[in-house]
Structure 1
Amino acid sequence: INTGKNHCSSNCEKGLKPALLIDKINETKSREETDARCHTANLASDDPSEGEHLMNLTMILREICNFRQDVKEQLEDTKGEISKTDTRLDEVGARILENEERLQKTEEAISKLLNMHKQTQLRLTNQERCLRRENVRIYGVLEGAEGEPKAMIQFVEKLPRENLDTDNEKNMVIERAHRALIPKPPPGAQPRSILMKFLNYRMKEEVVRQAWQKKGYTWDNCKISIDRDYALRILARRRDCMEVRNGLKDKNLYPAHLSILYEDETKIYETAKDSDGEASMNSNQESLNLQRKVELFGLQFQVKPYTRLIVIITSEQTPS
């Protein structure tokens, strides 16, 4: 091969044409291949085993070359697939970032909507409470005791006057009165409550106060109780605290919000879960002895010497 190159370069220096130069190169290559074959044949004729060995090596080299070519093609295909996968991953990453931003905005919007919904519920409850401010519910009156529906107002006016010590009976004017708007219960079941609306708010409060002081009364062998007409959410909260109220009633305690000031720290209990009905309060909280435990609505204090514990109980009905 080197000889051919030298020969080619010498011919180029002599100024041969390009076509003649290519023919010379091809002729040189074919001559070298022929010489190699002749050399291999001569070796094979000299030693048959060596010739077979050379033939095996030639086949191995050819297979290696083919395998290399196949591997190269497969690598090219793999590179193409990896490139496509990288492109798809970039697209997926961009979409994930976009979705995360949209999710964050959605969560913020939902949080704002929940706050607005909570405020709206509070406003609706307040408006409902204001609308029910002059209403009173009477519990325990048997079904049909009022007679005809038209005679309901005269019937409910007679009940408080005959059984409560009202000072101003002239102001006891009832605008409307009817049974609770639910299906009529079967015989023997608890009767529906009677809802009545007073014209005078002060008279309504006087009737409720008298009923609470008497803790109800008996009429026609029936236990009658009078209470305010609470909103639905307030009734639900009172129902949740029913067990706590019963536990406090056994200990002669009135349920209220409990605010405890202890070492410049205020603790307020507002829910039934916080209080859990466990309350035992000493009559003289200002004179606490050394290392004395005070249990208030499930909270235990280990009182230090010369420490003052202030307990403040607040309630809408009985502030103290």
Structure 2
Amino acid sequence: MDAEQKREKRLKTNEESLRELWDNIKRTNIRIIGVPEGGERGKGTEKIFQEIIAKNLPSMGKEPLTQLQEAQRVPYKINPRRKTPRHTLIKLTKIKDKDKILKAARKKKQVTYKGTPIRLSADFSAETLQARREWHDILNVMKGKDLQPRLLHPARLSFRFEGEIKTFTDKQKLREFSTTKPALQQILKELL
């Protein structure tokens, strides 16, 4: 391996480590998307979150939300005159609480705030979100072929093939594996 290849490999490893570190910092965060602007005047973001939980996830609303550490609106980075509402970040003290809330929200299917549909999701770095988006088309094709695909934390694809569970961190590794399996290569031919 020459010096340039070593440098590239080290750079890629450092970028992955930074992304993992950033995702670890954000691990207890929940991102709320779609809460209308101006709704928090006089209420506070924490109260809005508690109201969302109480109305949409009644089993969670019975427990006091003492695990709430911080809540804030995320400022616009690209266009401050954008008409869509800013995201709200909720920082919880325990990851178990975040997992319970997200699981209950997925089970309910549609979460609303004052009649407006909103979305609760885990907070990830921009790089991780992009990596997760890249798996989207492959996930849809695999679901159609009954391969039981799943997106693991933070952005790894896992699926069942020939009785075994296979996990891949990027498309290149999936491409290399699929060349050894003609059936899988046929399923993913246009996507890889």
TM-score after normalising by structure 1: 0.45
User: Any idea what the Cα deviations from partners look like across 1:80-139, whole Å, max 9, x if unmatched?
Assistant: xxxxxxxxxxxxxxxxxxxxxxxxxxx822211111111111211111111011100011
Identity %: 24
Count of aligned residue pairs for this structure pair: 171
Residue aligning to 2:49: 156
Residue aligning to 2:26: 132
Say which structure is richer in helix.
1
Residue aligning to 2:115: 221
User: How far apart are the structure 1 equivalents of 2:161 and 2:30?
Assistant: 34
Q: Which residue of 129, 146, 154 corresponds with 2:40?
A: 146
CA separation of 1:296/1:231 partners in 2, compared to 1, >3 Å: closer, same or farther? same
Q: How does 1:169-184 map to 2 (within 5 A)?
A: 169-182=63-76, 183-184=79-80
CA separation of 1:298/1:178 partners in 2, compared to 1, >3 Å: closer, same or farther? farther
User: How far apart are the structure 1 equivalents of 2:146 and 2:127?
Assistant: 26
TM-score after normalising by structure 2: 0.71
Give the unaligned 5+ runs of structure 1: 1-106, 276-293, 301-320
Look up the SS of the partner of 1:170 in the other structure.
coil
Look up the SS of the partner of 2:2 in the other structure.
helix
Residue aligning to 1:203: 97
C-alpha displacement at 1:298, in angstroms? Answer: 3.8
Say which structure is richer in strand.
2
CA separation of 1:180/1:259 partners in 2, compared to 1, >3 Å: closer, same or farther? same
Q: How does 1:1-320 map to 2 (within 5 A)?
A: 108-147=2-41, 151-164=44-57, 165-166=59-60, 169-182=63-76, 183-186=79-82, 189-247=83-141, 255-256=149-150, 257-261=158-162, 298-299=186-187
C-alpha displacement at 1:247, in angstroms? Answer: 5.0
User: How far apart are the structure 2 equivalents of 1:198 and 1:253?
Assistant: 34
Larger Rg over CA atoms? 1
Look up the SS of the partner of 1:166 in the other structure.
helix
User: Any idea what the Cα deviations from partners look like across 1:237-262, whole Å, max 9, x if unmatched?
Assistant: 12223334455667787533235348
C-alpha displacement at 1:154, in angstroms? Answer: 1.9
Q: 1:124 corresponds to which letter in structure 2?
A: L
RMSD across aligned positions (CA): 3.4
C-alpha displacement at 1:209, in angstroms? Answer: 0.7
Give the unaligned 5+ runs of structure 2: 151-157, 176-181
